Structure 1
Amino acid sequence: MSLRRLLQSQGRILYAERGGVRRQGFKGSFPGFKMATITATPKSSLADEPLKIHVAGLEPSQLVTVQASLTDEKGVLFQARAFYWTDQRGQVDLTRDAAVGGDYSGVQPMGLFLLLKPERPFSRLMKREVMSSPYKVRLDVFDSFHLVSQLQEQSLASQTVERWYTAPGVQRVPVRHGRVRGALFLPAGQGPFPGVIDIFGGVGGLTEFRAALLANRGFATLALAYFAYEDLPSALGPIDLEYFEEAAEFLLKHPKVRGPRLGIVAICKGAEIALAMATYLTQIEATVCINGPNAVNGYPLYYRDLCIQPIPYKYERMLITEQGAVDLSNIFGDPQAELHRGSIIPVEKAQGKILFVVGEKDRNYNSKAFATEIMERMKKLGKTHCALLSYPGAGHLIEPPSSPFCYQSWLPHLSSPVVWGGEGQAHDAAQVHSWKEIQKFLHLHLGPTQSSRL
């Protein structure tokens, strides 16, 4: 589709071409003209739930920009915008109409949320306070192409929506039990609920947003920290699997958690740990490994009398992109090399089920190759307890649909920005699909929840 515009001297009259038809319109509101509106329903919702966005009160075949904006807890502005032609009634329905440009194209009902981009380079939108405050997202509609974020006061219409990470009744309980540090999210209701441990990777600290979203779906979820939090080690180092066993025992003994076994959802380094937990700990029934390795890397893993020596990181293989971010995809040694085979985690010993979720454009791990090796090994051994979801175009940070696509961001552990990879629309489609599949997997192997909305 050919798009062309000519702004006259004061920028008040717009000429645009669509299919060879030339039209003239005016910015702003004038007596006798219809009043533009933009409506998102529901106005307040959980962050992983879809919205319906509708624009009305415009001229037929009018070119407009629809924009989403939010400011995160660190004061960083995130925005996304897309261009649409109105229909013959002067309306745009994002569930039906195709964007013709901007940050995405085609029919993308939630594209404005999934493709929010930071104004400050290498920023990642990641909710930290999940209980008391939502993200407030402003939606604006502008006449013609709108490319300058400072002109929000000229929008034809706007609405602000709230995106919450916890539903009414969900509780957050800080956890300081023995060595275990984290936060337990309990669903509304009496329970007991299936229990899940939620683990992140090299970002360190305590990340809670995914655990909170899982609690909304009926899982008692322990967001578990293992370094750079309170009195835990300040940096990533050797992994003591007994710490994670202690966390599993704590969760199973909670009166609102239904046993006899637990689930895990983990990403990156956390997925490596989760794979070891599934292999060696009897408390684990269902494990979701998102973009992780098939072997112990970087630091040794200990469990009682067991010590698995790691495949060393080869930092000399790091690549620096033109934007100044680090590409880590080449620093991992080949687990199939004779020297490193003792580092491979013997997943065939696992008693429970394991779901691998991988992005084929992951620029952090070669996660597709790692997961494929495990699947082929299990097939040769006649094992059927592993399954694989592989997404072409998806990068490393496959997260719930509430998380905008993040190609690269700052990683405190390395004191450097890191490339995560992926292609925006394909990655976001993978997040929407995998989030539903992860919940189905947990329901199947841990039993139903009191709140099983998918």
Structure 2
Amino acid sequence: MTVTKEESMSEFKIKSDNLQADCEMRISITHLPANTQICIKATVSDYYCVNASMELDHNVEWSAQATFLSDGNGSISLEKDPALFGSYTGVCPMGLFFRLKPVHPRKKALVDCFEEVPYFESYRVCLQAFEQTRCLAETEFKRYYQPPTVKGEVVYGLGLQGRLFFGEGCVNAPAIIVVSGSEGRIEKAQNIAQLLSGYGFVTLAVCYFGMQGVSEFLERIPLEIVEEAISILKKRKEVNPDRIGIYGRSKGAEFALLSASRFPDLKCVVANSPSAWVMEGIKKWKPSKSSSWTEHAKEVPYTQFSMTNYLKEKLMNRKLEYHSEESVIPVEQINGSVLVLAAYSDEIWPAFSSAVSISERLRLSGFVLPYHKYIYPNSGHMMTVAFQPNSRSPKASWYGVMKESEHSWKKTVAFFKEEL
């Protein structure tokens, strides 16, 4: 198809509170031909998606498009007008962003050296409006994971590798430790940490396994890694030592809850898709026959993997709850507020029953600090940040998944703002 670019009065108009990647944008186009089908295409580059495969080459372009009918004045508003067909249909202001897909996906080998892992401060967006093959309007801009006023710095400890993010001139600010899940490494944690840094927090993304310098596998990880992260933050002039929290998702949520139950300096914890119990470690995607965590070099009691229950889950097509009582995380010992986020249909482990168990344990213990629980009907295990594409739950409503990601992320940010 040959695309032509002709002189046109058509113009994109974009409104947003800011250009941070987790904020909604209001996009409209004016001075189009009236009552005409117009295809709007979004192409992004230098893009990192926390929900995508770890091996996806970050240099690939992502794209989405949808066709709309301009009104009698020659205008289209993505906030009000329905997409007739394309990457999505219906009214969805951020549909072009949530429905992005890699144009030519290809894999890239992951680097083992921590310092060689790239991180992306922003990504580039190109929006185009077409009448058939004629390009009537085009605009380009950046969306920021990490605002231009935020600096990134590599930090090391005895058992810790991390990336610290803080605003220019930042002094005595609240801080958040970020740990991700069973994929290991630093990429997902740092993307979440970058976005949180845009709200005025100092954030420390921690790599606790899967790279050179730390444990190779998710087994026998020292809880002292979080203790060391706390110590690093407390020594920074940018950080208020009395206002430190922790965010964990998936296996990182288990890590975060367990750490918060041990280290009273953590004043709040967000557990996204958590386990209420310490589970067996993972070695080369097999049970490690050891605990995931250690404390003072001693294994924390854990629930062993059960092949019988695993086969039952496959036959019944649902997650079963099985655990040993000694592996229960003593969340009532947490010295801070708690926010738990989970999906009813988590495909990885029983996050829903874990969320219920955590809340009930806090209630029965007479826990006096604030605690909140949000359960979502559409999202699966990968319920992360707002407006990043998520196709992990193909049978669920994509719109429902998008709105739940947005809601859970906003609740996360608001919780940290209120409790730190």
1:47 and 2:21 aligned:
yes
Counterpart of 2:376, as a letter, is Y
SS at match of 1:87: coil
State the shift of 1:436 in Å.
Answer: 2.1
Q: Which digits, 9 at most, give the CA deviation of each residue in 1:44-94, with x for residues without a partner?
A: 822122222112232322222222122346332322222221111111011
SS in 2 for 1:156: strand
Specify the SS of the correspondent of 1:46. Answer: coil
- What code does the residue aligned with 1:94 have? L
1:278 aligns with 2:260: yes
1:112-261 correspondence runs (5 A): 112-119=96-103, 128-131=118-121, 134-143=122-131, 154-207=134-187, 208-261=190-243
Alignment of 1:30-429 (within 5 A): 35-41=9-15, 45-71=19-45, 72=47, 74-119=58-103, 128-131=118-121, 134-143=122-131, 154-207=134-187, 208-299=190-281, 300=291, 301-304=293-296, 307-314=299-306, 334-335=322-323, 340-385=324-369, 386-407=371-392, 422-429=396-403
Q: Distance in 1 between matches of 2:29 and 2:199?
A: 31
8 Å Cα contact 1:114/1:405 also seen in 2: yes
Which of structures 1 and 2 has the bigger CA Rg?
Answer: 1
Q: Distance in 2 between matches of 1:130 and 1:76?
A: 14
Q: Residue 155 of structure 1: CA displacement? A: 3.4
Q: 1:43 to 1:248 in 2, by over 3 A?
A: closer
* Aligned CA distance change for structure 1 residues 270 and 103 (closer, same or farther; 3 Å): same
Give the letter aligned to residue 59 of structure 2: G
Cα shift readout 1:152-209 (whole Å, capped 9, x = no counterpart): x753332222112222331111101222211111122241110110111122111211
Structure 1 Cα separation of the partners of residues 90 and 339 of structure 2: 31
* Whole-angstrom CA distance in 1 between matches of 2:229 and 2:150: 21
TM-score by length of 1: 0.76
Equivalent residues of 2:60, 2:106 under 8 A apart: no
Scaled by the length of structure 2, the TM-score of the pair is 0.82
Q: Structure 1: any 5+ residue segments left out of the alignment?
A: 1-10, 13-26, 145-152, 320-325, 408-418, 447-454
Q: Aligned equivalents of 1:54 and 1:354: distance in 2?
A: 40
Distance 1:178 1:29 in 2: 57
Q: Post-superposition shift, 1:356?
A: 0.4
1:114-150 CA distance string (max 9 Å, x none): 22122456989xx94234xx21122122236xxxxxx
Superposition pairs of residues 426-441 of structure 1, within 5 angstroms: 426-441=400-415
> Structure 1 pair 161/436, CA: closer, same or farther in 2 (3 Å)?
same
1:81 counterpart SS class: strand
CA distance in 1, matches of 2:212, 2:5: 55
**Paired-residue identity, %:** 27
Provide the secondary structure at the position in 2 that maps to 1:61: coil
Residue segments in structure 2 that go unaligned for 5+ positions in a row: 48-56, 109-116, 282-290
Displacement of 1:283 in angstroms is 1.3
Question: Partner amino acid for 1:59?
Answer: P
Distance change in 2, residues 1:255/1:379 (3 Å): same
Give the CA deviation at 1:29: 7.9
- Alignment coverage as a number of residue pairs: 386
Q: In the alignment, residue 297 of structure 1 is paired with which amino acid?
A: M
Q: Counterpart amino acid of 1:403?
A: Q
Structure 1 residues 114 and 441 mapped into 2: Cα distance closer, same or farther (>3 Å)? same
**What is the SS of the residue equivalent to 1:427?**
helix
Q: Which moved more, 1:289-298 or 1:73-82?
A: 73-82
